[in-house]
Amino acid sequence: MSEEAQLVGRCRTGDQQAWRELVEHFSRYVYAICMQGFRLERHAAEDVFQEVFARTYEHLDRLRNDDAIRPWLAQLTRRLCIDCLRASRRESVTDEGDVEAEGSESWDEGLMRLDEALDVHEALAALGGDCREILDRFFARDESYKAIGDALELPAGTIASRISRCLSKLRDELEGRRPRLSASSGSVTR
């Protein structure tokens, strides 16, 4: 059973800490679908984001396979984004042509990219020391060496070399997870 499925199982028992972890875990994924996949305006993205998690909380019992939480969330977010765009009448949206209308990337390609990114973030979460913070701040939060150094009380001049070392550790972590990732991706419907 994947870590995500275990998290869903804990949520079903009413474990509130598990719910907080589930939201934290998938928040970037849902946010990216809203903002990158559908390019919603910020206020619309916030509405969709909250609705996704409200429905997830309400309907978690209906999920037949806990391992399918990720594709289930992706489809729910997609459907709500489409509804939102239709309601705003910003543009004519069709079920199949929405993402293509916004860029060159199809829905499937875009989702695959975000799925891979979430796998990498999961591996990052497993790294110890400062690596998680350093890599997340530099790549995902787009912070400067100075900002990272200030926040973590590290000399700014050492950040570049730490990033390089941490990337190397993350690559090793991902290589170690490869069989698990392959196995879990085969057990869900994408």
Partner 1 sequence: MSYDEHGIAEALSALPPAPAAWVRAAQELPLLRRVLDEIVVRIEQDDEFRRRVVADLETALQAEGYDPDPALVEALRHRLAAE
- State which of residues 9, 10, 36, 185 lies at the interface with partner 1 (CB under 8 A): 36
Per CB under 8 A, 167 contacts partner 1: yes
Give 117 or 147: the residue with its C-beta nearer to partner 1.
117
Within 8 A by CB and 6+ apart from 152, the residues are 130, 133, 134, 137
- State which of residues 66, 170, 184, 188 lies at the interface with partner 1 (CB under 8 A): 170
Q: Are 34 and 49 a contacting pair, CB within 8 Å? A: yes
Closest CA to 37 of 117, 120, 115, 105: 105
Give 1 or 125: the residue with its C-beta nearer to partner 1.
125
Closest CA to 33 of 67, 84, 92: 84
Give 30 or 68: the residue with its C-beta nearer to partner 1.
30
- State which of residues 12, 125, 139, 190 lies at the interface with partner 1 (CB under 8 A): 139
Give 63 or 167: the residue with its C-beta nearer to partner 1.
167
- State which of residues 8, 124, 148, 159 lies at the interface with partner 1 (CB under 8 A): 124
Phi-psi region of 122 (alpha: psi -120 to 50; beta: other; left: phi over 0): alpha
Give 29 or 145: the residue with its C-beta nearer to partner 1.
29
Q: Which amino acid is at 78?
A: R
Site for partner 1 in 3-22 (CB under 8 A): 16, 19-20
Site for partner 1 in 48-107 (CB under 8 A): 49-50, 53-54, 57
Handedness of CA 136, 99, 113, 68 (dihedral sign): positive
Tokens of residue 25, six digits: 């875990």
Half-sphere exposure of 122 (CA within 13 A, CB side): 22
Kindly list the residues in this chain that would bind partner 1 in the complex (CB under 8 A). Answer: 16, 19-20, 23-24, 27-32, 36, 46, 49-50, 53-54, 57, 113-114, 116-121, 124, 135-136, 139-142, 167-168, 170-171, 174-175
